[in-house]
Amino acid sequence: MERGIYAPEHIDLADTLRAFLAENVVPNMEAWEEDGLVPRDLYRRVADLGVLGIQVPAEYGGAGETSFLFNCVVTEQIAYSRATLGSLRVHTDVVMPYVMKYATEEQRRRWLPGMASADVMTAIAMTEPGTGSDLAGMATAARRTDGGWLLNGAKTFITGGAQADLVIVVARTSRAAERRGGLSLLAVEDGAPGFTRGRMLKKLGLLTQDTSELFFDDVFVPDADLLGEEGRAFEYLAGNLAQERLSIAVNAQAQAVAALEVTTRYVREREVFGKSLSSFQNTKFVLADLETQISAGQVFVDRAIAEHERGALSAADAAKAKLFCTELQGRVVDACLQLHGGYGYTREFDICRLYADARVSRIYGGTSEVMKSIIAKSMGL
């Protein structure tokens, strides 16, 4: 089906990215997975294409685009190439919107040019060892001191945490009657006394993504590094969740497309019992079913993108898109690996990476169970 959501400028960006990824990323994936991160120089080269600064206003060194469609193109092309680019999507789709919306003019001038050029890579530190999805129950806290706060606590599962120059930390700055109150966003720069990084976590998938533990021991955060207003972090986080979950849905859908593509190619080339694997009825039926499910997912996610573009994507509809597309991704990669047989369980085949990378989609950005709770609440249940 024709998608119809992209204009010529989006197609041009897709073509440029496809060529860049094929030449500069795909051949290096195995080495980067061994290292557990994407080299900093790669982020700078992506920035030179204008990707990091797409939505950064021109006065801060960006392109000044307001459409999220460009971000979707970037997400899809990376997925179609069967690659991962570390913390890039967190930098552009998660952290940057908070800076763009809540930073003061002084903060914008200080941070945005570097964020657009990759001189300042970012992370956001929400999850704690004992809280998981319960952000309101976080223990990381900052107490008032002369000229700012003293920050103490620990964070885990922080994407980009090993290389980030600037970390937006969600911390409790006051004890409000409402559990969701009293949380603030504090920007901590690399090298701040008392700020240390723990181990890079060894994960099942997303091996180029430096996922780390972070520790804060009386880290001084000046007043000038409070992002937005004190005590309003939960409101800010909730305000961007629809876009964050849409980004995950777009990626999950594109990963499913990639899995089907590599599997269709594989079954045509693979011979079993003297015949092409693609000639077996079971193979045809499995792939036909996956193609139909993926087509339905594409219509769903494209509708969600269109709703987001006009500012009408609700929290519940974003949750539906994430739930549907990530669950779809899981089914697709599982069926596709099965068709690869034993070879699919080896990392020399793309489906192995796609399978391993897919599992976390139903966890981060809110688990599938959390998505179902949000959807049920929107139904009055």
Marked catalytic residue, from 33, 76, 213, 244: 244
Written as one string, the DSSP assignment of 208-238 is TS-EEEEEEEEEEEEGGGEESSTTBHHHHHH
Residues 6+ positions from 295 with CB-CB distance below 8 Å: 1
Compute the distance between CA of residue 370 and CA of residue 358 in angstroms, rounded to an integer: 18
Is the distance from CB of 240 to CB of 94 less than 8 angstroms? yes
Measuring CA to CA, which residue among 261, 232, 345 is closest to residue 82? 261
Q: What does 108-162 look like in DSSP terms, one character per residue?
A: HHHHHHHHHHTSS-EEEE---TTTTT-GGG---EEEEETTEEEEEEEEEEEETTT
Active site residue 244: yes
Q: Of 164, 163, 139, nearest to 153 (Cα)? A: 139
CA 78 to chain centre: 12
> Contact 371/322 with Cβ under 8 angstroms?
yes
On whether the CB atoms of residues 365 and 242 are closer than 8 A, the answer is: no
**CA distances to 99, 225, 270 from 70, in Å:** 18, 29, 37
Extract the tokens encoding 276: 């092409």
| Phi (first) and psi of residue 245, to 5 degrees | -70, -35
Paired tokens of 190: 């690399």
CA 111 to chain centre: 20
- Residue positions annotated with a catalytic role: 244
